[in-house]
Chain A
Amino acid sequence: MILHQIEALKAIGVEEVVLAINYQPEVMLNFLKEFEKKLGIKITCSQETEPLGTAGPLALARDKLVDDSGEPFFVLNSDVISEYPLKQMIEFHKSHGGEASIMVTKVDEPSKYGVVVMEESTGKVEKFVEKPKLFVGNKINAGIYLLNPSVLNRIELRPTSIEKEVFPSIAAEQKLYAMVLPGFWMDIGQPKDYITGLRLYLNSLRKNSSSMLAVGSHIVGNVLVDETAKIGEGCLIGPDVAIGPGCVVESGVRLSRCTVMRGVRIKKHACISSSIIGWHSTVGQWARVENMTILGEDVHVGDEIYSNGGVVLPHKEIKSSILKPEIVM
């Protein structure tokens, strides 16, 4: 997920990425180190020892974000998937001369979100309305920001919300501008949304760079297979499947609407749909994994097991079927 963002940043000439992180930094760093070389971009990490909200981490990483140039910096929320028109965002930021720019996206049901009320022509943000009961607008914060270094002066090193505290204060000074995000956007903090996000992302790949998608008689729809993954005979894969590096998919396997993370092994004749298979997990022969089953890292599903919507925490072994959605601790 995060790689898409890093690639987009690299594409517009960003040289350094700071990850504000509070969960398993080693895992994340090891993973990203190899892309550091591949993409030629510097990746560093700023780790929270306590949760600091959405703005606090920026204060924590202050030294890494401020240099003498006074150039603005991007802030991206990692559980959002969208197209990244970052170049247009820089142009927009320069044109309005304000202190901060945010991307907004149009949604069908604004009452579920925090709505950004803005001047349509200039994009100047007037105010934020949290979960409005009456219609005030249909644009919401898309989690992609371009900020001047001066914004950091508004943030103290304590748990702070950038959406609820920092932006409203900038807007009050009429220095916050919003740009409408073209193309798709999705908050994929929830697994269900993640699966949908994957579909949208693969759709956009189909339009923009379809050569990356897998082809063949065993492929249906949009499928992304890492070049280091192995696929056995008699499989049927797709639509909307992503298979990570080093995965082994044995013969007779059926995959649809799912993400298979790095290092996973799917054994013979298994069938997986609408699910996420975590790093280095295995799915047994003739197992059936479906309906928003989420396997954490290093989860092992036994042969012939059925999982209907099981959410399985890391390092578990599943030896009996899960007939109805539940969390396996």
Chain B
Amino acid sequence: MESSEKVVAVIMVGGPTKGTRFRPLSFNTPKPLFPLAGQPMVHHPISACKRIPNLAQIFLIGFYEEREFALYVSSLSNELRLPVRYLKEDKPHGSAGGIYYFRDIILEDSPSYIFLLNCDVCCNFPLRDMLEAHKRYGGMGTILVNKVSAESANQFGALVADPVTNELLHYTEKPETFVSDLINCGVYVFTSEIFDYIQDVSIQREGRANLRRVSSFEALQSATRNLPTDFVRLDQDILTPLAGKKRLYTYETMEFWEQIKTPGMSLKCSALYLAQFQLTSPHLLASGNGTKSATIIGDVYIHPSAKVHPTAKIGPNVSISGNVRVAAGVRLISCIILDDVEIMENAVVINSIIGWKSSVGKWSRVQANGDYNDKLGITILGEAVIVEDEVVVTNSIVLPNKTLNLSVLEEIIL
């Protein structure tokens, strides 16, 4: 690789009007900063970016308030010794419109390649391999793709690729009928040429808006017509028209891939990232056999500031955030324990997420069946929820600041 070929990465983090399905965990914390395997969700794609050769800068683009990301971004820049900037959109521009809006900043260092990643996907981000493939293909863009079950393919961007050349032949976002079981993972690498294509879409739309003429074709596409001229979607506006024109290619990952839309999925993704740590960051995984520190089963992350009693038994798939206190005789299985939570003596937590500053009383039990696709398959306690001693909370969602003094089963506590 030529040393002059700079790379920048852009991570789309969305904004507060997005991620409503992530409630009650997104009330006070931007979803991209919600911890998976003990690290903010956005940290996982960022760590993967860090491993790209010649990476010059990382940009986070979204429409959350700047202050919500300021602290995270500055500490990250220090940690990675790499410029990381948060760019706040004044309003949603779509994923293509977003990068176009900030094109001057992104192109400041004249990068040869631009990675674009959605923040709410969970995968191993094989960015180096993708970049190599992208150079081989010689196209304008390469999309990370993945095979899913035929039944679930319609929830994603479904696509058809040439089996020999890997060229993108056809692309349909969330098709009503079955198109293909190959789907868009939301991870792309482009040359700077992408900005020309976005500009074309934007100009065309502006022209249509100025003419205020409705052709029969446009009448059919009324949804597009009503969009603001600076709102450009990557999937419908760029990928669909460019498919089959030898400009876009695909790179298929055989590893895990999930979309993180709901709190329940975050628990599954936390497990996937913890397992990934075995390969990438084994030092982050806890160990112990109950003599000096707690008994650890499987993959577990424990923040250094958390206090866990040696008689507790933790794991598999548990991540424990900062300042958490886990008392004697506690059992934690498949759960995320957020900052400042207290788990009291002999309590049990299974298949659950315990919100910031909550407390789980002695001999109480917070549990669920662990079905990630079931709305109540993972029990979620919002921020500052108090579960009193000996209370059992099963397959339930509890909104912030509630006190539970009686057991609940399959309920949403508002």
Contacts and interface: CB of A to CB of B under 8 A. Distances in A.
Interface stretch (B34-42, B220-228, B328-336): B328-336
B409 A304 contact: no
Contacts of A268: 329
A271 B367 CA distance: 14
Nearest to B311: A252
Given A234-B345, A271-B365, A285 B328 contact: no
B331 A306 contact: no
A306 B390 contact: no
Nearest to B348: A286
A273 interface: yes
Interface in B352-373: 362-363, 365, 367, 369
Given A252-B328, A268-B329, A323-B409, A306 B394 contact: yes
Interface string A282-326: 000110101000000000000010101000000000000101100
B299 to A, nearest CB: 18
A33 B47 CA distance: 73
A288 B407 CA distance: 13
B329 A304 contact: no
A interface majority secondary structure: loop
Contacts of A236: 362-363
B143 interface: no
A324 B331 CA distance: 22
Interface in A238-289: 251-254, 256, 268-269, 271, 273, 285-286, 288
Interface residues of A, number: 21
Nearest to A252: B329
A306 B331 CA distance: 13
A164 B82 CA distance: 92
B350 interface: yes
A273 B409 contact: no
B394 A271 contact: no
Given A288-B365, A304-B331, A308-B409, A323 B345 contact: no
B7 interface: no
A306 B345 contact: no
B346 interface: yes
B60 interface: no
Contacts of A253: 346
B341 interface: no
B346 A271 contact: yes
Nearest to B332: A286
Interface string B310-339: 010100000000000000110101000000
A234 B328 contact: yes
A254 B346 contact: yes
B392 A306 contact: yes
Contact of A269 (B329, B390, B394): B329
Contacts of B390: 254, 256, 271, 273
A305 to B, nearest CB: 10
Given A234-B328, A271-B365, A306-B367, A290 B348 contact: no
Nearest to A291: B407
Given A304-B348, A306-B365, A286 B331 contact: yes
Contacts of B395: 323
Contacts of A304: 331, 333, 348, 350
Nearest to A324: B409
Nearest to B364: A271
A323 B345 CA distance: 23
Most buried by A among B329, B369, B395: B329
B242 to A, nearest CB: 51
A290 B391 CA distance: 11
Contacts of A254: 346, 362-363, 390
A253 B328 CA distance: 12
Nearest to A268: B329
Nearest to B330: A269
A323 B282 CA distance: 37
Nearest to B395: A323
Interface in B376-414: 390, 392, 394-395, 409
Contacts of B328: 234, 252
A250 to B, nearest CB: 10
A254 B365 CA distance: 13
Most buried by A among B346, B390, B395: B346
Interface string B281-316: 000000000000000000000000000000101000
A267 to B, nearest CB: 11
Most buried by B among A234, A253, A269, A304: A269
Interface of A: 234, 236, 251-254, 256, 268-269, 271, 273, 285-286, 288, 290, 304, 306, 308, 321, 323-324
15 contacts: A234-B346, A252-B311, A252-B328, A252-B329, A252-B346, A254-B390, A256-B390, A268-B329, A269-B346, A286-B348, A288-B348, A304-B333, A308-B409, A323-B394, A323-B409
Interface of B: 311, 313, 328-329, 331, 333, 345-346, 348, 350, 362-363, 365, 367, 369, 390, 392, 394-395, 409
Q: What 4 pairs between A and B have smallest CB-CB spacing?
A: A252-B329, A286-B331, A254-B363, A271-B363
Given A271-B346, A286-B348, A304-B348, 18 more contacts: A234-B328, A234-B345, A251-B329, A254-B346, A254-B390, A256-B390, A269-B329, A269-B348, A271-B365, A286-B313, A286-B331, A288-B365, A288-B392, A290-B392, A304-B331, A304-B333, A306-B392, A323-B394
